[in-house]
């Protein structure tokens, strides 16, 4: 894994542990169902490392990084006889009130940097290289908002795993020997109704999120009549073991269009963990007591990917070219 020399050399592609950034681009594309398109896509993926160097070296302190995720349909088109154990499509979730839709996506590019211009330049050259072999289905430019707040006004990302807990939560280990070092990724693009949210008194907002707004202190809601977002997103198994994921959500928006959003991205060692979080948010715990964040936030996309470790990505590229 990378992480030692981030100020001296460009960051290796597929570095799940690359630093959270001030700017990010989330790019989702589908790939044309032709052999030539596949070949083009995988030669571009093979060159991703060089592209990070080409753009990132121009300002190393901006810490440009890129993670490519591969969707299940594309995976099945590869001449690769193995598949990550849990990889499956994002299944639509229908709660009593809110629905999490499943939307198409063969490839995800998660591009991060301290500088939006580096994200832009990287995406520009990347899409130029992919050419007509792909169709862009979603493109979001996110920005860091004050002290890492989402547009609902809360600090977002605090409970992320750190140190050794980060790989233990976010990176596939020996349980899937062929895919060690990879990560399952789920993305959802949420749009908020900020007008309605602004009418909710702050103490109630805090109860919905599970943290205080100003100083970000966790609220114990064990005895509350309704669980908060934080509690619904906490997964503990029968043996008392807690399962975390790594999130790098980013706000985005166009105030002139009334668009205010959060781009959710979660990396996990086990896909079932993020799926279980979503079940608890949409179906509720107990059933019906869904996540009230959803009364003010509507998901417009929902897609699952697998981000293979760098050597596997290169092997995939070579297999596709053969």
Strand partners, 190: 262, 299
Residue numbers at the binding site for ligand HEM (CB under 6 A): 150, 152, 154-159, 188, 190, 209, 211, 229-230, 233-234, 245, 247, 262, 264, 266, 274, 277-278, 293, 297
Q: Which is nearer to ligand HEM, 112 or 230 (CB)?
A: 230
- Six-digit token string for 224: 């509350």
- Closest residue (Cβ) to ligand HEM? 159
Count how many residues are written for the chain.
322
Least spacing, CB of residue 29 vs ligand HEM, in Å: 22
Q: Which is nearer to ligand HEM, 280 or 310 (CB)?
A: 280
Least spacing, CB of residue 60 vs ligand HEM, in Å: 28
Least spacing, CB of residue 231 vs ligand HEM, in Å: 8
Q: Which is nearer to ligand HEM, 178 or 193 (CB)?
A: 193
In angstroms, rounded to a whole number, what is the distance separating the alpha carbons of residues 248 and 250?
6
Q: Are strands 246-247 and 107-113 parallel, antiparallel or unpaired?
A: unpaired
* Contact (CB, 8 A) for 213 and 205: yes
Least spacing, CB of residue 205 vs ligand HEM, in Å: 10
- 107: which residues sit within 8 A by CB, 6+ positions away? 28, 29, 30, 31, 41, 68, 69, 70, 71, 74, 134, 305
Kindly name the residue from 12, 49, 138, 156 that is annotated as catalytic. 156
Strand partners, 7: none
* Contact (CB, 8 A) for 316 and 205: no
Q: Which is nearer to ligand HEM, 66 or 293 (CB)?
A: 293
Backbone angles phi, psi at 281, to 5 degrees: -65, -45
Least spacing, CB of residue 211 vs ligand HEM, in Å: 5
Q: Which is nearer to ligand HEM, 67 or 155 (CB)?
A: 155
Helix (H, G, I), strand (E, B) or coil at 290: coil
Residue 156 appears among annotated catalytic residues: yes
CA distances from 312 to 76, 251, 315 (A): 15, 31, 5
Q: Which residues are known to be catalytic?
A: 156
């Amino acid at each position: 894994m990378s992480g030692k020399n981030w100020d001296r050399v460009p960051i290796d592609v597929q570095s799940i542990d690359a630093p959270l950034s001030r700017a990010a681009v989330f790019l989702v594309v589908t790939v044309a169902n032709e052999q030539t398109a596949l070949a083009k896509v995988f030669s571009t993926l093979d060159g991703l490392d060089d592209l990070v160097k080409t753009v990132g070296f121009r300002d190393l302190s901006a810490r440009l990084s890129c993670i490519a995720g591969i969707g299940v349909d594309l995976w099945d088109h590869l001449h690769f006889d193995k598949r990550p154990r849990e990889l499956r499509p994002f299944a639509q979730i229908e709660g009593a009130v809110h629905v999490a839709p499943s939307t198409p996506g063969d490839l995800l590019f998660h591009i991060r940097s301290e500088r939006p211009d580096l994200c832009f330049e990287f995406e520009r050259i990347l899409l130029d290289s992919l050419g007509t072999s792909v169709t862009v289905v979603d493109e979001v430019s996110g920005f860091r908002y004050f002290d890492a707040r989402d547009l609902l006004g809360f600090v977002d990302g605090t409970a992320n795993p750190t140190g050794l807990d980060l790989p233990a939560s976010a990176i596939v280990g020996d349980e899937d020997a062929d895919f060690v070092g990879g990560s399952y990724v789920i993305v959802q693009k949420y749009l908020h109704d900020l007008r309605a949210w602004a009418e909710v008194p702050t103490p109630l907002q805090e109860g919905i999120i599970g943290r205080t707004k100003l100083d970000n202190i966790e609220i114990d809601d064990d005895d509350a009549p309704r669980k908060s977002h934080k509690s619904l997103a906490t997964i503990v198994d029968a043996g008392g073991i807690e399962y975390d994921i790594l999130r790098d959500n980013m706000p985005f928006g166009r105030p002139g269009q009334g668009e205010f959003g959060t781009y959710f991205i979660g990396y996990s060692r086990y896909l079932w963990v993020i799926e279980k979080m979503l079940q608890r948010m949409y179906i509720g715990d107990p059933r019906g007591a869904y996540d009230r964040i959803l009364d003010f936030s509507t998901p417009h996309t929902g897609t699952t990917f697998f981000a293979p470790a760098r050597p596997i990505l290169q092997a995939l590229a070579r297999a596709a070219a053969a």
